[in-house]
Amino acid sequence: MSRIWNFSAGPAALPQVVLERAQRELLNWNGSGASVMELSHRGKLFMELAARAENDVRELADIPADYAVLFLQGGATQHFAQLPMNLASQGDSADYIVTGHWGEKAASEAAPYVNVHVAAHSRDTGYMQLPPRASWALDPRAAYVHYTPNETIHGVEFHEVPDVGQVPLVADMSSDIFSRPIDVRRFGVIYAGAQKNIGPSGLVVMIVRRDLLERASRPMAKIFRYADHAANDSMLNTPNTWGWYLAGLTFEWMKEQGGLAAIAARNDAKAAKLYRAIDSSNGYYRNPVALDARSRMNVPFTLHDDKLDALFLQESEAAGLLALKGHKAVGGMRASLYNAVPVEAVEALVAFMQDFAARHG
């Protein structure tokens, strides 16, 4: 069976060369005679892999020494709760900027551990635009400010890092991490589930300013404390070795692509090509998001007649275009254009959309 063009929102496409290398190495990784999944995470070979992956990600994102890089588990959703446990003391408040489903969930899951203050939201627009920075009611005494730079479901994205003063900025970058250069120094914490731009699901990469690791003052088990994970090189317990390995291969692939600047240029071109096809369709296809908030990673769109949705999905899948169904909260279609989705995939999607409109116009 030939490979298809995968537009899934997550778990999402991985670079084919990464998958092919993992396939070659599956039974005999690094001359060990065993799979990487079968070897001790504390053995020399895996420790070297872990160090190389961290070095590569530090190089890619220009991460300074005063930030720790952690390879954790639980998905971003677990860290919605774990972050306030580590960054806020009993009675503290934190500001949340809510611009979609995942921002809402982050605030909800944090509520048992910190006084959540929604400092800005865009619910009244159906999450189709971003709240103007001037409208944010930030508290300078907040433990941190949390936001979601890219919302996968609604397809909105911050194109600049917001200025929140001296309060640590915490970003759930699950769906846009490493899609463009990052000024890590603007953040207190960056965290991301791996299954969009890094690797398989089940792994979380966290970049955290080291001084924030000392904040956790409430009683908690060591497994929940980021400082303990950092002190043990992310091996406080047995890590997701397979996910870590594939993430390392993906970091190598990113470097081979020319780094994050080159990846950003390709992502911009892919998104522009798809938005251009939507906007030039004379209303056959529509994207509901405000122009200045359109996501480069997740492009939702509707057809002029929703009665055609099922046929569009049936024909697109038959044409080798996978996972274009929009989220149930929004409906319509959604194409996710993560790093591993090649330009050729977007070209194939645009050609199909134009052909479909010509045949069912």
* Domain spans in the chain, listed from the N-terminal domain onward: 17-256, 258-359
Which residues on adjacent β-strands are paired with residue 192?
205
What's the confidence (pLDDT) of residue 279?
98
What's the confidence (pLDDT) of residue 31?
94
Range from 102-111, 214-223, 315-324 carrying the lowest mean pLDDT: 214-223
Please identify every residue annotated as catalytic. 102, 172, 196
Query: What is the average per-residue pLDDT within 173-187?
Result: 98
Helix axes 241-256, 259-279, angle to 10 degrees: 80
Q: Note the pLDDT tens digit of each residue in 210-256.
A: 999 999 778 999 999 999 999 999 999 999 999 999 999 999 999 99
Question: According to CATH, what is the number of the domain 258-359?
Answer: 3.90.1150.10
**Domain 258-359 in the same topology as domain 17-256:** no
Mean pLDDT value across the chain: 96
| pLDDT band at residue 131 using 50, 70 and 90 as cut-offs | very high
Q: Note the pLDDT tens digit of each residue in 294-317.
A: 999 999 999 999 999 999 999 999
Q: Cα(152)–Cα(175) distance, rounded to whole angstroms?
A: 7
Q: What percent of the chain has pLDDT over 70?
A: 99
Beta-carbon contacts of residue 231 (< 8 Å; ≥ 6 apart)? none
Q: Cα(286)–Cα(69) distance, rounded to whole angstroms?
A: 40
Overall pTM > 0.85: yes
The highest-level CATH class for domain 17-256 is alpha beta
Q: Cα(280)–Cα(272) distance, rounded to whole angstroms?
A: 12
Check pLDDT > 70 for residue 327. yes
What's the confidence (pLDDT) of residue 329?
86
CB 83 within 8 A of CB 92: no
Check pLDDT > 90 for residue 361. no
Element (H, E) at 351: helix 343-359
- Residue that is written with structure tokens 């001359």 in the block: 31
| pLDDT band at residue 286 using 50, 70 and 90 as cut-offs | very high
Check pLDDT > 60 for residue 209. yes
Q: Note the pLDDT tens digit of each residue in 72-99.
A: 999 999 999 999 999 999 999 999 999 9
Residue 9 corresponds to which tokens in the numbers above?
Answer: 């929102």
